[in-house]
Chains A and B, each alone.
Chain A
Amino acid sequence: MKRKTTEDRLIAEELKRQKEKEHYKSLKMVDKKKYKEELKRERQLNKEKKKENNELRRTMAFFSVVFIVMIGYYCYDLYQAESIVNNSYNKRLKAYSEKIIRGNILTGDGKIIATTETDENGEDVRKYPYNEMFAHVVGMNTRGKTGLEKAYDYNLLTTNLNPVLKALNEFKEQKSPGNNITTTLDYKIQKYCYDSLGNSDGAVVIIDNKTGAIVSMVSKPDYNPNKLDSMWDKIDKGKVKDGFLLNRATQGMYTPGSTFKIFTSLEYIRQNPDYKDFTYKCTGTKVFANYPIKCYDKTAHGNEDIEKAFANSCNGFFATLGTKLDITEFSTDMTECLFNSKLPINIEYNKSKFTLTKDSSTFDITQSSIGQGTTLVTPLHMAMIANAISNDGMMMKPYLVSKITGCNDSLIDSFGPEKYKRIMTKEESATLKELMSAVTDYGTGRIFKSAKYKTGGKTGTAQIDSNNNVNSWYVGYASDDEHDYSISVVIENVPDGSVKAVECAKKIFDNIF
């Protein structure tokens, strides 16, 4: 049709041209001249007319581009739709729950850790079959939303049932089943962690080194998500420990203690390629700006190089290293290591804090270098650092959900390993690995000495009050032919001198491997 019309037009034009030619031929000489002039004038006029509208044409083009940009931005909005829609201020989510049965949350090995049941009154009730075990990471749905229940609220409340069937369900006043979330959590490992932490307060995070999948996340004190209502009564009466709702694994801000020496070492190695040559004679105490820094129990560690000092967790050595650092560079590198930065995870968390600047006092610098002072970290952050070290410097993006499935287990979305960021070179990570295996070979973590898996780590004790109570830390990794995990353990309020976090980590690794 279209071709025909253009052909027609071409033929018509051709005919017209021929006619003009004939007409021209039939003219007399004088008329020919006149005719030519007239044609010329007409062409000129046409040209001018076109020129006259040049600005209008350009304006049309300009606004066409503006409108197309608008369409592009609309698509960009839709591209991020899921993260936008999943917001507690979006009143639609509540409306969805009247038409949709909230979907299940499963562990990676297929155990249901959150589901919806209908009670005798026909009301939907959210059930958590393993009670406290997954409490914080799964979160809650009533009494405010937290954890995965919050992060995937929208997905749990939508269905991939085809719209016609959905409409039919609505017509029959039946709810449609919501989508299910499969997490990366491993039931067995979660149980080891949960049991190993025992009655202590604290947190454990385990990350699969090769993928970045979070296989376990435990926080204590915990709560039974099935009994939230009675919990609330107790809170009102002041009978419950404070802060049990806080997911310490991602939101707990802890002084890192000696585990921070990982960063001090990294920075010193980076700034001083001849780091191996530096030695120091530890006498148990060293005074910086009128303030003594003591090693644990005032033990004199004697002559040390960086490896030995790291294994012994020698405070004097690392405080001295701190004074030798370019603090501006230190501060930028710590930002690179995700201090004061967002973490790539979609459940609630706090940003770790590092506050040194080039104007900091010697006191602050030496304190920070041994992990005291104003520096604060979250267990998840430390696990991510261990992950980067064991991964040749490449940090994997931590993730908690591996797939979203709809009715009949149809796959809607899946999430896999993603490299997040290189925070150190391969060489630097190799050096840190040497230091960390020294810790488990003959240093403060030597209970790992006879372990049948390859491992390395760093212990820490962070002073939190003057009563000799400390937070006990362990950050490390372990692997054998099959598995490769990073771990971060923190246990609160341990009497000074016990090494509970490292014992807890060993118990967990012994169970896994």
Chain B
Amino acid sequence: MAELYIVISKYIITILMASYTYFSFKALSKKTEEEYDMFFYTQTFLIYAIYVIGIVIVYLNNKSDTTIILAGAQMIYLVVVLGIFPVIYPKINRMLLSNMCMLLAIGFIELGRLTYTRSIKQFIIIAFATMLTLIVPFLMSKFEIWKQLTWFYYFLGVGMLLSVLLLGIVLGRKSNGSYLMLTFGGISFQPSEFVKILFVFFLAGLFVKGTKFSNVVAAAIASGSFVLTLVASKDLGCALILFMVFSFMLYAASKSKIYLFLCAGGGIMGAYVGSIFFTHVQTRIQAWRDPWPIIDGGGYQVTQSLFAICSGKLTGTGLYNGMPETIPEAHTDFVFSAIAEEFGGIFAILLILVCLNCFLGFVTVSTKQKDIFNKLIAFGLGIIYAVQVFLTIGGAIKLIPSTGVTLPLISYGGSSALSTLIMFAIIQGLSIVGTKDEQKEKNKRTRKDMTIEKKNNRRQTDRRRA
């Protein structure tokens, strides 16, 4: 009866996901405390429900005992994260927390279905990474040293990128034709995932001192060196992300549209020059414009991705009823298509909306920051997230050329998972700072009011006495 269960469950999962998305947008515009609590508990329940329904299908198909163990561990993980974080940090942004868990849960199911052994490895990394990131909100909210390390971020970031590039060239090691990985003792590590975060801190540190022309030029040159190193390593996706982060952070810091237009112009020029000089850029653009004549070559990935998406239609085939394994890189760059095929188009669209909700959550945290440095950091991380989601999903649906970027928290990849968890943790830290600031302000105001009132009362009594 597994077949029947799969067919029915795909509808149920879609309905649960729809309600989840509804609540996540309701929670975005903050309501009363009670409503907010209600949303959070409902969302928590929905995450558990979707996870359990999905993982049961995985078990029904591989019938392996390790699945039960893994499922148990993942369930405990979700319960702990959703239950413990809010206790340790009562001021945590629970909407972002539940979004994070929802994306992780979808990733658990999808990776379990696609590559079971990798799914175990990925979960172990996520579990450790989450423990590590528990301390991040504390570090972010207690220390103020972060502002002073501007050039340290720069040299660390560029140094990491250069070392991968040079090591790659010297040792001749390449993954997918690009130099991306550092490997020590069997653990590979993709620095560009962390460089994104360093880059945001670096720019925030620069721009907090104002956006005088000299400052902007320095930022542009430094960012250029980041982007060029990435282009040399053929990591175009990350280069694009950093470029977008630079453009939008400059816009937010300078409040000048002119800079934004200049960046857009520069970006278009850069893309044009890139498409002239790099053959791998050309093939990707060609595969995007019309992949069908080159379905045997450069168009293979995106057409396989489209086959998956289009076979899923609106309601999906149901888990294990599709053939997402025919898509190259289904567990990393094209995980969205794999999800779309078996969970269906409605679910996929809801997933896009949840990702949008995450981004809006990030920037909302940014708007609440009093400190410009913190504000820029939350904003920059939001841009990283949004651009990354856009690049990966846009590439999968053939809206834009594919850039080889992973879907945060869902795709397989330890470095990506760790860096995204760190991003979420930093945002949580800032969110705590933000709410504290708000609270302080409120307290100050009420105190002031009270003093005025007190004075007043005293005066009145004085008058009466007189």
Q: A interface vs B, CB < 8 Å? A: 5, 23, 26-28, 31, 35, 53-57, 59-60, 63-64, 66-67, 69-71, 73-75, 77-78, 80-82, 84-85, 87, 89-92, 95, 163-164, 166-168, 170-171
A contact face: mostly helix, strand, loop, or mixed: helix
B4 x A87 contact (CB < 8 A): no
Q: Does B32 contact A (CB under 8 A)?
A: yes
Sorted from nearest, which 5 A-B pairs have the closest CB atoms?
Answer: A81-B310, A167-B3, A67-B356, A53-B367, A73-B399
Q: Mark B276-291, 1 if CB is under 8 A from A, else 0.
A: 0000000000000000
**Contact residue among A28, A60, A78 (Cβ-Cβ distance under 8 Å from B310):** A78
B164 interface residue (CB < 8 Å to A): no
Closest residue on chain A to residue B387 by CB atoms: A63
Q: Does B390 contact A (CB under 8 A)?
A: yes
User: Which residue on B lies nearest to A59, using beta carbons?
Assistant: B248
B366 interface residue (CB < 8 Å to A): yes
How far apart sit A151 and B345, CA to CA, in the bound complex (Å)? 24
The one of A28, A81, A89 in contact with B459, judged by C-beta atoms closer than 8 angstroms, is A28
- A486 to chain B: closest CB distance in Å? 31
| Cβ contact within 8 Å between B348 and A63 | no
Report the separation of the CA atoms of residues A90 and B322 in the bound assembly, to the nearest whole angstrom. Answer: 12
B255 sits at the interface (CB 8 A) = yes
Q: Does B67 contact A (CB under 8 A)?
A: no
**How far is it, in angstroms, between the C-alpha of A189 and the C-alpha of B138 when the chains are bound?**
83
Least Cβ–Cβ distance between A432 and chain B, in angstroms: 37
Contacts of A167 in B (CB 8 A): 3-4, 6-7
Point out the residue from A28, A70, A84 that lies within 8 Å of B390, measured CB to CB.
A70
Q: Is the CB of B323 within 8 A of A70?
A: no
CB pair B367 A56 closer than 8 Å: yes
Chain B interface size, as a band, is 35 or more
Q: B306: which A residues are within 8 A, CB to CB? A: 77, 84
Per a CB cutoff under 8 Å, which of B8, B31, B309 touches A78?
B309
| Segment 365-401 of B: residues with Cβ below 8 Å from A | 366-367, 375, 379, 383, 386, 389-390, 393-394, 397-399
Which residue, of B8, B309, B310, B453, has the highest number of chain A Cβ atoms within 10 A? B310
Using Cβ atoms and an 8 Å threshold, which residues of chain B touch A168? 3-4
Q: Which of A35, A53, A69 has the most CB of B within 10 A?
A: A53
- Count of A-B residue pairs with CB < 8 Å: 128
A92 touches B356 (CB 8 A): no
B182 within 8 A of A: no
Tell me whether A59 and B356 are in contact (CB under 8 A): no
* Interface pair B311/A92, CB less than 8 Å apart: yes
For residue A91, which residue of chain B has the nearest CB? B326
Task: Given contacts A67-B359, A78-B310, A92-B326, list 4 more A-B pairs with CB under 8 A.
Answer: A63-B390, A78-B314, A87-B295, A91-B323
Q: Which A residues touch B8, using CB under 8 A?
A: 164
Chain A min CB distance to B356 (Å): 4
CB-based contact A67/B352 at 8 Å: yes
Most A C-beta atoms less than 10 A away, residue of B6, B31, B399? B399
B70 CB-CB contact with A under 8 Å: no
Bound: A70/B295 CA distance, A = 23
Residue B251 interfacial (CB < 8 Å) = yes
Q: Contacts A63-B359, A78-B313; is A27 near B456 (CB within 8 Å)?
A: yes
B307 within 8 A of A: yes
